[in-house]
Chain A
Amino acid sequence: MKQFIVLVAILPLLLIFIAQFTLQEKNAQIKMGIASDVYAAAEQARQDGCFTAGNVNRLKQQLASRSRTEESEILITADEVPKYRVNSYNENERIHYKVEVPIKRAMAGNRFFGIQDEENRGVFVIENNIASERLRP
C-alpha cells in the first residue's frame, strides 16, 4: 500500500517528462516548418523585389496553419516597396523582413508548477535581409 501511494505521488511528475519531451518535439517541428516557409517566401520576394501583399498573405496563412494560431497573432514586417538588382552592392537595395510567430505552449504541465498559461508562451522571431533579383525597369 505504501508503495502504491508513493507511485501515485510520483507518477504525475514522471508523466510530465514524457509530455514535455513530446511538446518539445512538436515545437521544434513547428519552428523548422516556420523557418522553411519564411525562407520560401523570402525566395519569392527576391524574384518580386519585395514582399507583395499576396506573398505576405500566403505566408500568414501557412504560418497560422502550421503553428495553429490566428492569422492576426502573426506579425510580418517586410519591405513592400520594390528593391532592384543593381550591378554594384548597394545596402539600400536589400529586402528586409521580420516575422514573429507565437509559440503557445513552451512547457508541459505548467499549472502543476504554478505557471499561468499567459506566461507559458514565447515568440519565434526570424529577421533577415536578402538581395533583390528584380531588374530595374
Chain B
Amino acid sequence: MKVLLVGVAIIMISLMSITFHADYSRYELTEQALKNEADKCASAAVLYFDEEAYGDGEILLKDDDAVKAVQGMLDEKCAWQLHLFDDSGRHRRYENGRVTAETDFSYPYSFEDETGYETVINQPAVIVTVSHESDFYRLDGVEEKTIKRSSMYTVNSR
C-alpha cells in the first residue's frame, strides 16, 4: 500500500510539474508577444506629428492619428493605455481610445507608467502599455492572471 501511495504521489507531482511548465512557457511567450505589440504600437504612434508646428521648431504629436494607429494595430486584442508627451507641455493619457487624463508637464519630467517602470521624459515621447488578462495557469494557487508590458519611443532629432 505504501509503495502504491508513493507511486501515485510521484505521478501526480510529475503531472503537476509538466502542467506548470507548459503554462509557464505559454505565459513567457505571451509576455514576449505583448512586448512586441507595445513596441510596434509606440513606434507607429510616434510617426504622426503636426508638420506646420514642426516648421516652427516644435514637435506636436497628432492625438487622433496616434490613437487610430494603436487601435488599428491592436484590433481589440488587448487593453491599452497611450501616453503622449510633446512640446505642447500637455501630457495626454488615453485608455482604450478615450482620453482619461490631461495634465501639464515640462522637460525633464519623471513619469511612472502602468507597469511601474519609471523614466525621465526629456523630449517628445509616446508610451504604450498593453495588458492581457487570462487564466494562464491551470493549477490552483498560481494567481498570475494579467500580463502588462510597456514600450516608449522618443523623438531624438528635430
A binds B: yes
Chain B contacts of A31 at CB under 8 A? 25, 29
Chain B contacts of A24 at CB under 8 A? 18, 21-22, 25
Chain A contacts of B40 at CB under 8 A? 42, 128, 130-131
Measured CA separation A32–B26 after assembly (Å) = 10
Interface string of B24-59 (1 = CB under 8 A from A): 010011001100100010011001110100000000
- Taking the closest CB of chain A, its distance from the CB of B158, in whole angstroms, is 16
Measured CA separation A13–B66 after assembly (Å) = 55
Chain B contacts of A28 at CB under 8 A? 25, 28-29
- Is the CB–CB distance between A35 and B32 below 8 Å? yes
Asked if A94 CB lies within 8 Å of chain B CBs, one says yes
Query: In A1-48, which residues have CB < 8 Å from any B CB?
Result: 3, 6, 10, 13-14, 17, 20-21, 24-25, 27-28, 31-32, 35-36, 39, 42, 46
Given A20-B18, A28-B28, A28-B29, answer yes or no on A89-B43 (Cβ-Cβ < 8 Å).
Answer: no
Q: A29: nearest residue on chain B (CB-CB)?
A: B25
Asked if B73 CB lies within 8 Å of chain A CBs, one says yes
Measured CA separation A94–B73 after assembly (Å) = 9
Chain B interface residue bracket vs A: 20 to 34
- Is the CB–CB distance between B28 and A32 below 8 Å? yes
Q: A126: nearest residue on chain B (CB-CB)?
A: B33
Chain B contacts of A91 at CB under 8 A? 72
Asked if A85 CB lies within 8 Å of chain B CBs, one says yes
Measured CA separation A91–B69 after assembly (Å) = 8
Chain B contacts of A87 at CB under 8 A? 47-49, 51, 62, 65
Chain B contacts of A80 at CB under 8 A? none
- Is the CB–CB distance between A89 and B10 below 8 Å? no
Asked if B138 CB lies within 8 Å of chain A CBs, one says no
Name the one of B21, B29, B36 contacting A39, with C-beta atoms under 8 angstroms.
B36
Asked if A57 CB lies within 8 Å of chain B CBs, one says no
- Complex A-B: 16 CB contacts under 8 Å: A10-B7, A13-B11, A17-B18, A20-B18, A28-B25, A28-B29, A35-B29, A35-B36, A39-B36, A88-B62, A89-B65, A89-B66, A89-B68, A129-B73, A131-B43, A133-B47
Please give the residue numbers on chain A whose beta carbons come within 8 Å of chain B beta carbons, in ascending order: 3, 6, 10, 13-14, 17, 20-21, 24-25, 27-28, 31-32, 35-36, 39, 42, 46, 85, 87-89, 91, 94, 128-131, 133
- Give 18 new A-B contacts, CB below 8 A, not counting A35-B32, A131-B44, A133-B47: A14-B11, A17-B11, A17-B14, A25-B25, A32-B29, A32-B32, A87-B48, A87-B51, A87-B65, A88-B48, A88-B62, A89-B65, A89-B68, A89-B72, A94-B73, A130-B40, A130-B44, A130-B73
